[in-house]
Amino acid sequence: MRNGGEIGIIGLAVMGQNLALNFARHGFRVCVYNRTPERTEGFLRDRVRDEPIIPAYTLEEFVRCLERPRRILLMVQAGSAVDQVIEALLPLLEPGDLVMDGGNSHYADTERRMQNLAAHGIRFLGVGISGGEKGALLGPSIMPGGSAEAYAMVEHMFIRIAAQSEEGPCCAYMGRGGAGHYVKMVHNAIEYAFMQGIAEAYDFMKTALGMPVEAIAETFERWNEGALNAFLTELAARVLRYRDPESGDPLVERIMDRAEQKGTGRWAAQSALELGVPAPTLTVAVIARTLSYFKTDRERIGAGFPWPDQRLGPFSEGVLADLEAALNLMLLAAFSQGLWLLHEASRVYSYGTDRAEVLRVWRAGCIIRARWLGFLREIVREDPEDPHLLFSARFRAELQQRLPAAGRVLRWAFEAGVPMPALSTAVDYVLSMRRSRLPANLIQAQRDAFGAHTYERIDRPGVFHTEWLD
């Protein structure tokens, strides 16, 4: 059909509306549909002006409105809603049509949906999209995965609406199967870790150093000028500066300290455990959110658990420089774990993910965009087959120069009773990965002693068992 919609979007909540406007403002004709018609009406009334956006109020009408082969992007709530929409849509589609899921779906669900739809001749892409509300409107980071042929149907459109960085548009093919959603999941896990690290630095400045919120905001602003330049560093400063219109106090101080989560961080931690990839900093960031939730329990325990010294007393700029170094180290450790996880997932699931492209796509538009990404990409490109950033001397040097500072921060934090789970696991991770010999020999000996699990020796080949307790 000529003059029909070049792309259709189902789901007009925050993300769907902004993506529809983004496509339309780049000249693409967009058909839109939402289960609840009032939302579609509201969108047209409040936000659509001259953009080529065509509303549909039934799925039949929506499907008819699209050029063939159809390109349909689902922006509905992740989970069973995606299956329900696909089920309703399927009888209306024709072989060759393309359905894309732009939500935060689990990569295994994406693989399942891809296979089910393939049986009907329908193409399917799992598309990770990052950037939140603003990114969706002005240029998100886009991580599509599935068949390369399916991607070819939308590449020209995604590249236009994506964020643009000096290294090109922030959209690239992430690989086969559920690769797009897997990469987005790892993105979110790094996001959790970075946010946890930032929160720990704020807590340290507030609790250990007694700094007022304004001074903490100023510190993040200064850090944002240097190596820690990143969307989340800048955002932390802006959020800390925001004042509650009613009280005039920093709003952040009035917010309940219970962090929510929607699942992607937990899935990444679960996947890391399943694949046998150590990702302690990514995992602990999820645990820290879970722990924060037990507010009343913490209050009860804390009331009966005094800590001797809450403040470090007068501090020098040197302490803040150490904290900055520690946060950089935490972030590098989180990226190192995330990229190892991506390497292993790509190997096990045959994704064929190019991690240098992943890092390029994360350069702009997404929540974890950061100055470090250019450096990390250079390292991955030096040897794309290396699972570890840690194999690179340049990467190790960046960690090594920051380890003493991170160690000092952890000691001060302990004195002041400030928990720093992301930073401490990052330090543990680096210290463990640099040790050629770990105390796992004793674990092996004990396993053999109580359960005859056998062990290997370092001085001769073979598998051994000892009657330790005779």
Ligand X SMILES: NC(=O)c1ccc[n+]([C@@H]2O[C@H](COP(=O)([O-])OP(=O)(O)OC[C@H]3O[C@@H](n4cnc5c(N)ncnc54)[C@H](OP(=O)(O)O)[C@@H]3O)[C@@H](O)[C@H]2O)c1
Measured between alpha carbons, how far is 264 from 129 in angstroms, rounded to an integer?
Answer: 13
Q: Dihedral of CA 130/131/133/138: which sign?
A: negative
Q: Which two tokens stand for residue 29?
A: 């004709």
**330 annotated ligand binder:** no
Looking at beta carbons only, is 36 or 310 nearer to ligand X? Answer: 36
Active-site choice (61, 87, 155, 191): 191
E runs forming strands in 3-152:
7-10, 30-33, 53-55, 71-74, 98-101, 123-130, 141-146
Measured from the CB atom, is 158 or 204 closer to ligand X? 158
The answer on whether 206 is annotated among ligand-binding residues is: no
Nearer Cβ to ligand X (101/200): 101
- Alpha-carbon distance of 142 to 155, in angstroms, equals 10
Q: How far apart are CB 141 and ligand X at their closest, in Å?
A: 10
Residue from 6, 111, 184, 357 carrying the catalytic annotation: 184
| 191 included as an active-site residue | yes
Smallest gap, in angstroms, from Cβ of residue 128 to ligand X? Answer: 8
Nearer to ligand X, 8 or 421 (CB): 8
Instruction: Supply the minimum distance, in Å, between the C-beta of residue 396 and ligand X.
Output: 34
Strand-strand pairing, 30-33 and 168-169: unpaired
Determine if residue 16 is labeled as part of a ligand binding site: yes
CA 460 – CA 150 distance, rounded (Å): 53
Q: Which whole-number Å values give the CA distances from 409 to 30, 332, 350, 366, in the listed order? A: 52, 17, 41, 29
For the chain, the residue count is: 470
- Does 338 belong to an annotated binding site? no
Alpha helix ranges (H) inside 293-402: 295-303, 317-348, 355-361, 372-382, 393-400
Which lies closer to ligand X via its Cβ, residue 129 or residue 186? 129
| CA atoms of 132 and 18, how far apart (whole Å) | 9
For ligand X, the binding residues (CB under 6 A) are 11-16, 34-36, 39, 75-78, 81, 84-85, 103-104, 129-130, 132-133
Minimum Å distance from CB 45 to ligand X? 15
Residue of 369, 372, 374, 377 lying closest to 131 (CA atoms): 369
Closest CB to ligand X: residue number: 103
Cβ 421 to ligand X, closest distance in Å?
25
Active-site residue 6, yes or no? Answer: no
Establish whether 138 is an annotated binding residue: no
Contact 127, 105 (CB under 8 A): no
| 187 known ligand binder | yes
Active site residues: 184, 191
Q: Residue positions in the annotated binding site for NADP(+)?
A: 11-16, 34-36, 76-78, 104
Q: Which residues are annotated as a binding site?
A: 11-16, 34-36, 76-78, 104, 130-132, 187-188, 192, 262, 289, 447, 453
